[in-house]
């Protein structure tokens, strides 16, 4: 899982020859976390401080994974963009 404050559009193959064709890195890797898959899913939690200084902050998330069916390949998810605010 990678977290970022800037979007990106870099082919994943620029980082590793294991990347599958068409997979792009859509968030800069400002923070990288390694997560274990259980039952075909990954659960991830992030604490965001309860402070008005975070209002309007934009965060980007993306997951890159090694495919268990093809262990020598790397694929990526779509990106998620979050805008923090009050409701």
- For 7, 20, 75, the CA distances from 69, given in Å and listed in that order, are 29, 13, 12
Closest by alpha carbon to 63, among 19, 18, 1, 5? 1
Q: Domain segments of the chain: what residues?
A: 2-83
For residue 53, give every residue at least 6 positions away whose Cβ sits within 8 Å of its Cβ, in sequence order, or none: none
**Diameter of the chain measured on Cα atoms:** 45
7-65 pLDDT tens trace: 778 887 787 787 777 788 888 878 888 888 788 788 888 888 888 888 898 888 888 88
Distance between CA atoms of 1 and 3, rounded to whole angstroms?
7
Say if pTM beats, i.e. exceeds, 0.85. Answer: no
């Amino acid at each position: 899982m990678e977290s970022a404050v800037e979007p990106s559009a870099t082919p994943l193959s620029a980082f590793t020859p294991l990347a599958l064709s068409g997979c792009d890195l859509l968030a800069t890797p400002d923070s990288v976390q390694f997560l274990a898959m259980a039952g075909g899913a990954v659960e991830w939690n992030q604490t965001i401080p309860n402070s008005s200084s975070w209002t309007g902050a934009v965060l980007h998330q993306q997951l890159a994974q090694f495919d268990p069916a093809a262990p020598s390949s790397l694929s990526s998810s779509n990106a998620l963009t979050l805008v923090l605010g009050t409701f």
